[in-house]
Structure 1
Amino acid sequence: MSGTRVVLTDHVIKVLQVPYLENASAHSRIWRRFMTSYISLGYCGILDAGLRVPKGFFDGNADDPGNYYQCLAIDAPFGDSRISGKYCVVQVPLSQDLTLPGFSGKADALNVNKLKLGPAAQLVLEKYYTGIKGYRALSGTHLDDRVAHVTGTLFKLAVCIPRPCTTEVAVTTLLFNLSTIGFDYQEQFCRLPNDKPWVSADSAALLIFFMIGLLTLMSSVYELTHIFLLKKDPKSVNIYYRSFSIFSNTHSLFNIPKEPHTLMCLNGIRTIATVWIIVGHSFSSLSGLLNPFRAWEWMISFDGLWVSSTPITVDTFITITGILLVFTTAKKMDAGSLLRNLHIFYLNRLLRMFPLLATAVLFDASVFHRIGDGPYWMAVATNAQKCRDYWWTTLLHLQNYLNPKDICVPHSWYIAVDVQLHILSPLVLYWILRGRKQTAWFALLLSLIVTLIVSAIYNGFMDLPAHTISPARNDRIMEYMTKYYFHIISRIAPFLVGMMFGYILHLWRGKRVLINAFTVQGMWVVSLCIISGTLYMLYRVKQLDWNYRAADAALNTLMRPLWAAAVGWMVLACAHGYGGPINWFLSLPLWRLPGRLTYGMYLFHYPIIVVVNGTIVGLQYFSVANVMYQALSFLVLSFILSFILTVVIEEPFTIIFKSLLDKGFSKSNSEEKKLGEIEAFEIESRKDED
């Protein structure tokens, strides 16, 4: 028998406990006894729950999830004992070297070069092969061109078997002994009811969230009693006692004071960018599709450009980070104060990111794994085990280098890059804060030029594609992600461009800057051309005929800083009255609340998508309308969860951290210095962002 039991990944076997019994002969007797008596006992459900031919094969589907809950719900008397169901998934190659009874030797493998097929059938198989190769490119998997068109296909089939048995026993005794003809398969995984063991991550999550809930309750009761029952002045409330109060934290979230010279348009830009990312991940993370070829064709089409180009959105956030770093710091600090308080500068960024990031790690390691189940739950289980193994690299912001293929909270690589850029930023920020324009511009331009040169050399040497979707080079997608996309070298240039625009905004702060209409119109035209040109090139590189390596290297070097320049001009124009209707739209008050929640929405939207997709019990038909409906639900769920966690976790810890840092300054600095410098280190300065 060529069938074997194969554990899909080490992550799965750690996070799910499914006992494998080794006494094959005893299991075989149980299975045969069951098979000979299940008709009379009415046990049709155990076969009905699995082992079907996948629907939509020529639309790209080779999976059948069976009936997950029906299988696990089977629990019926069987003689002196009981029979319960075990859900397993086996991988069956379409290409089988079978020894057929009555024939000498082995039958030829299913191969279009050996089969006598007509032109019409050949065309269908050619189309199928092209589709499956392209669809695999969406996930970065590679189909070797040397493999025949259909023989590379692997069916993933659900089977429901009695709990004591193995898939090997089931296959060898199903109808007839398939091992006698050389049937080949691999067991991917098996599931049982309540097979999620309680681990230390669950205990930690339960204890931490219980303590936070208790603190929230006590703090809220304290503040409400102090203000409404005792009728005392709200300003006399102890800041630590009320730090976890839902009342004051919600009020703070909704009532951000509007001050002059603030960059109101950033709320709109960040919110729209976050929505764009959520929609993009909704399309790219689909599971259980009946017609994956249709999804592939749409994603590489021009109609799907607005979704497939979402990776460039990350550079919008990188640019904004660079803008705010200079804009908020240059007003309140000089080079000397930066050096004296460099440890506080770093601490603030780390503490700003930590509360919600740690919450996301705990959610992935425990909570999300506990709240659902389904035939596609292995994605959630794998993420849970990654966080149990690599939680520390994520909290230290080293995950994009130490374990880029097994990142806890997969999309947190951006948070790591953000922190790493802040750690490096004083190398340039120091010269900006010295007060001399020539020195500042020299440092900025020199840094950008050196970065572009190093990036060009790196990209030319690495020879990587220029998109997360690259059909012609899909065998390099994983390398592209781990050695370029997650890498800080791809983000330094847009960050520096953002710092340049932040410095211009600082120099123009509070001034009425007059720019002639021709220059304004020209800059808008250039910016829109950069944006549209970037999107068009992202469309071109995902076409089947694109295989221009020099162009890929050039795009990887120049595309992101050019995009950052377009975003920077948009912010600059809106801040100084040259944005017109664009500024009006981006500065609408409705963006203020979601603008404050974008960090939480970014962190939690992807786990929500994975969890919801993991609970799908049947195949779904791809259509843009259907996925947009799902994306809207993911957006709402992300907004609600981020709002709750911002109120009960981020706001309280922000208050505590800021208060402790204030005290640290008061010990080492005079009161005058404290007032001048502490604001520069204020965690995510709201008045400059909002």
Structure 2
Amino acid sequence: MASDFQGNVSRGVLQMVDSWGKLRDGYLHGTPFVLGLGSFSECIHADSPALGIKGRYCSVFSLDNKTRLRADADAKLRLAQASANVDIGLFTQYGTCIPDACTEADMEESLRIALDGRKKVTVACEALDDRPQFTSGDIAMISFLSVMLAVMATGTAADVYYRAATSSAPNLGVRFLLPFSAYTNLEKMFHVATESRPGVISCLHGMRVLSMTWVILGHQYVFDTLFSVNLKHLQKWTNRLVFQVIANASLSTDSFFFLSGLLVTYGVLKEIKRTGRVDIIMYYVHRIIRLTPPIAVVTLFLGTLFRFLASGPMAYYVTSMYTICSNKWWFDVLYVNNFLAFNETTNQITDCLGQCWYTAADTQMYLVAPLVLFPLAYSPAKGKILLYVVTLASAIIPAAVIYVNDFPPGSLIGGDENVDNSGYQKLVYYKPWCRMSAYVVGIWAGYIIFKQDSKKLHLSPMQVVSGWTVATFSALAALLGMWSYNQLIVEYDFDPMTQVLYGGLHRGVWCASLAWVVVACHCGYGGVVNDFLSHPTWQPLSRLTYSIYLVALPLQLLATFNLKDLVYFSHIDKIIHALGAVFISIVAAVLLSLTAEAPILGLEKLIFRRPGRGEDKPKPISPEGNKGHDNLAFTNDMTEKVDVEEENVIMDGVSSTLGEEAVTQF
């Protein structure tokens, strides 16, 4: 191209040529399908005023045309095949730079002609001045966020005013505005209670935060690993035993299923003991009110404004995500994505919020939980028999599905074409009946803690040591037991016995170990473990885990979408990136909670009065001592303030598991 301009070559033109993607050094050691990304920044900033052109960066994707013989493939696109066992012809990506006078369609058509049908080609281009066009959905989202910001500002101002003007009480209209107060909501969000309270399982705070951090770390190893310059070196980095902490990180979701089952059980049984009944309608309505608004806000943001945040060679993924979120947002909002979002063609789940398969599965188990909990409450003998049957079924069902379909015994990070990982994901990993063992163990733990109530649990030193020993080795067996099979290059074929035993039992065994930790810590046998998990500093992050859960994965994807070059894979880099993702997710989670979670919880308490609430007398406290308390929207006069730590909170599963107080009362 530069030679075509002969003596009139400008610096801008040379920059366009220089920014072209070239076969990089160490190509055979890195990502085989990325020939070279080129220099995105140099291309889009290339400018030749004399010729009136600027640079336009294009990502070119080529896929072998299966209707043509493989022998017809262009030899130039297989230059690495002669020297290594690397097939780069099936799918390739490279970056190039063209004058902005040319369009995506022009580039695509020229490549189709040059390749003469040997490859299917698509092109995604971006210039410095290119910006996505605003749609009606974008404008609606901006309007919604603006209205919410205005309401929060007004609610905060009213809250500050009525705190100062203690001689007057807010009227009904202002009471419905005060739940939006950022002042009070931030105060409650970051409140730390240092004193212990009956009915509070304080060790759940630390367990919840650590499990969420584990989820984020596991995801961090997935997203940009395929774009590593040392991809061929991954086997060395990932075949060690300790890497099973990452390779088997799916157990972190079982931790949340366990916590959900525990808190729902304990909450329902405590409510029945206190009032003699459970409002079954509010049992379901409450969950919808608490979980749906944050999911809806994140989904709508991803389906509108999210695409404005990405730029670079990988930004084309945003278009795909934008399309999915625009068309399939209701999968997540209606909690059906674990059934409807699986794409039969790509064998991938294609809903907007991929992590919300968990919310869907947990909600489905929450819906049927009363069928087990009510017999436990009203007829304990029959209820325990039913729970034994359900426990047995929770192990048999996944084992049977795995054995019949010849699936791997767990989620594997590698394997050859004979390992049906996608089938396992579809029929086992996402399905509630194959994941309910963790939830059922949580029900057992919640029932045990409820029956123990305030009575002292007496265990001998030998029983305590035995309990901790068995729990530790059981957890390690579940976490590390797949080491021989769960590697990038599998050296052993799993046998039917491993499929059945590990596939059916490992999630329940993992959660049984967690159950011992919770019961031991709650009953005074936790020692330093309880001191660590129950430390008050976990509380603020524990309240935010639901919002963190919703925003972390999109933020991690956004970081990948904004990559300008390939990355170098190392464990230290992944840990640093994960910690960065945790910090940014906390900031985003605070904003989401202030917008769509805390105000909804406040409005719910104003609108709905559940049975027995009128009997609870709030403690009068001084205005100076209301740290972590509700504002005046929830008072009958200026001296009655309700402590959020002491009020009766419905424990509804995910909202309690992923962000509410570890309070175990209705």
Normalising by structure 1, we get a TM-score of 0.80
SS in 1 for 2:96: strand
Q: Residues 313, 234 of structure 1: CA spacing in aligned structure 2 closer, same or farther, 3 A cutoff?
A: farther
Deviation at 1:84, TM superposition (A): 4.7
Specify which of 419, 422, 433 is matched with residue 366 of structure 2. Answer: 422
| Structure-to-structure mapping, 1:398-409, within 5 angstroms | 398-404=336-342, 405-409=349-353
Deviation at 1:402, TM superposition (A): 0.9
Specify which of 138, 146, 152 is matched with residue 216 of structure 1. Answer: 152
Q: What CA distance in whole angstroms lies between the structure 2 residues aligned with 1:99 and 1:467?
A: 36
Structure 2 partner of 1:479: 423
Q: What CA distance in whole angstroms lies between the structure 2 residues aligned with 1:46 and 1:317?
A: 51
SS in 2 for 1:541: coil
Percent sequence identity over matched residues?
21
Of the structure 1 ranges 634-643 and 545-554, higher mean CA displacement relative to structure 2 is found in 545-554
Q: Report Cα offsets for 1:358-382 as digits up to 9, x if no partner.
A: 1221232223322231211223332
SS in 1 for 2:61: strand
Q: Does 1:72 align with 2:44?
A: yes
Q: Does 1:443 align with 2:382?
A: no
Q: What CA distance in whole angstroms lies between the structure 2 residues aligned with 1:373 and 1:307?
A: 29
Q: Does 1:555 align with 2:535?
A: no
Q: What CA distance in whole angstroms lies between the structure 2 residues aligned with 1:217 and 1:171?
A: 50
Structure 1 partner of 2:492: 546
SS in 2 for 1:433: helix
SS in 2 for 1:368: helix
Q: Report if aligned partners of 1:520, 1:578 keep a CA contact under 8 Å in 2.
A: yes
Q: CA RMSD in A?
A: 3.4
Specify which of 508, 512, 522 is matched with residue 466 of structure 2. Answer: 522
Q: What CA distance in whole angstroms lies between the structure 1 residues aligned with 2:475 and 2:143?
A: 48
Q: What CA distance in whole angstroms lies between the structure 1 residues aligned with 2:434 and 2:249?
A: 16
Specify which of 183, 198, 203 is matched with residue 134 of structure 2. Answer: 198
Q: Report Cα offsets for 1:513-532 as digits up to 9, x if no partner.
A: 10122222212111111111
Structure 1 unaligned spans of 5+: 1-31, 101-105, 116-120, 130-148
Q: What CA distance in whole angstroms lies between the structure 2 residues aligned with 1:526 and 1:347?
A: 40
Deviation at 1:680, TM superposition (A): 4.5
Q: Report Cα offsets for 1:170-190 as digits up to 9, x if no partner.
A: 69989xx9669x975633433
Q: Does 1:631 align with 2:574?
A: no
Q: What CA distance in whole angstroms lies between the structure 1 residues aligned with 2:156 and 2:110?
A: 64
Q: Report if aligned partners of 1:299, 1:307 keep a CA contact under 8 Å in 2.
A: no
Q: What CA distance in whole angstroms lies between the structure 1 residues aligned with 2:158 and 2:73?
A: 78
Counterpart of 1:459, as a letter, is I
Q: Report if aligned partners of 1:600, 1:646 keep a CA contact under 8 Å in 2.
A: yes
Deviation at 1:197, TM superposition (A): 2.9
Q: What CA distance in whole angstroms lies between the structure 1 residues aligned with 2:160 and 2:418?
A: 58
| Structure-to-structure mapping, 1:497-516, within 5 angstroms | 497-516=441-460
Structure 1 partner of 2:635: none
Deviation at 1:324, TM superposition (A): 0.5
Structure 1 partner of 2:191: 255
Deviation at 1:331, TM superposition (A): 1.2
Q: What CA distance in whole angstroms lies between the structure 2 residues aligned with 1:602 and 1:642?
A: 8
SS in 1 for 2:221: helix
Q: Does 1:265 align with 2:224?
A: no
Q: Report if aligned partners of 1:309, 1:535 keep a CA contact under 8 Å in 2.
A: yes
SS in 2 for 1:467: coil
SS in 2 for 1:331: helix
SS in 2 for 1:304: helix
Q: Report Cα offsets for 1:141-164 as digits up to 9, x if no partner.
A: xxxxxxxx5465643211112244
Deviation at 1:414, TM superposition (A): 0.7
| Structure-to-structure mapping, 1:653-664, within 5 angstroms | 653-662=600-609
Q: Residues 50, 463 of structure 1: CA spacing in aligned structure 2 closer, same or farther, 3 A cutoff?
A: same
Specify which of 272, 280, 288 is matched with residue 333 of structure 1. Answer: 272
Q: Residues 83, 38 of structure 1: CA spacing in aligned structure 2 closer, same or farther, 3 A cutoff?
A: farther
Counterpart of 1:213, as a letter, is L
Q: Report if aligned partners of 2:29, 2:230 keep a CA contact under 8 Å in 1.
A: yes
Q: Report if aligned partners of 1:93, 1:155 keep a CA contact under 8 Å in 2.
A: no
Structure 2 partner of 1:158: 95
Q: Report if aligned partners of 2:257, 2:442 keep a CA contact under 8 Å in 1.
A: yes
SS in 1 for 2:56: strand
Q: What CA distance in whole angstroms lies between the structure 1 residues aligned with 2:104 and 2:156?
A: 55
Q: What CA distance in whole angstroms lies between the structure 2 residues aligned with 1:168 and 1:248?
A: 54
Alignment coverage as a number of residue pairs: 609
Q: Residues 479, 35 of structure 1: CA spacing in aligned structure 2 closer, same or farther, 3 A cutoff?
A: farther
Structure 2 unaligned spans of 5+: 343-348, 619-646
Structure 2 partner of 1:28: none
SS in 2 for 1:243: helix
Deviation at 1:393, TM superposition (A): 1.3
Q: Residues 109, 361 of structure 1: CA spacing in aligned structure 2 closer, same or farther, 3 A cutoff?
A: closer
Q: What CA distance in whole angstroms lies between the structure 2 residues aligned with 1:74 and 1:536?
A: 52
Counterpart of 1:446, as a letter, is V
Q: Report if aligned partners of 1:86, 1:160 keep a CA contact under 8 Å in 2.
A: yes
Q: Report Cα offsets for 1:610-636 as digits up to 9, x if no partner.
A: 111211112222222222111111111
Q: Residues 656, 35 of structure 1: CA spacing in aligned structure 2 closer, same or farther, 3 A cutoff?
A: farther
Of the structure 1 ranges 266-275 and 286-295, higher mean CA displacement relative to structure 2 is found in 286-295
Q: Residues 535, 188 of structure 1: CA spacing in aligned structure 2 closer, same or farther, 3 A cutoff?
A: farther
Q: What CA distance in whole angstroms lies between the structure 2 residues aligned with 1:108 and 1:393?
A: 40
Q: What CA distance in whole angstroms lies between the structure 2 residues aligned with 1:455 and 1:497?
A: 15
Q: Report if aligned partners of 1:97, 1:183 keep a CA contact under 8 Å in 2.
A: no
Structure 1 partner of 2:637: none
Q: Does 1:37 align with 2:10?
A: no
Specify which of 456, 462, 465 is matched with residue 399 of structure 2. Answer: 456
Structure 2 partner of 1:7: none
Normalising by structure 2, we get a TM-score of 0.83
Counterpart of 2:190, as a letter, is F
Q: Report if aligned partners of 1:259, 1:687 keep a CA contact under 8 Å in 2.
A: no
Structure 2 partner of 1:289: 228
Structure 2 partner of 1:245: 181
Q: What CA distance in whole angstroms lies between the structure 1 residues aligned with 2:170 and 2:357?
A: 40
Q: What CA distance in whole angstroms lies between the structure 2 residues aligned with 1:262 and 1:52?
A: 60
Structure 1 partner of 2:356: 412
Counterpart of 2:121, as a letter, is Q
Structure 2 partner of 1:613: 560
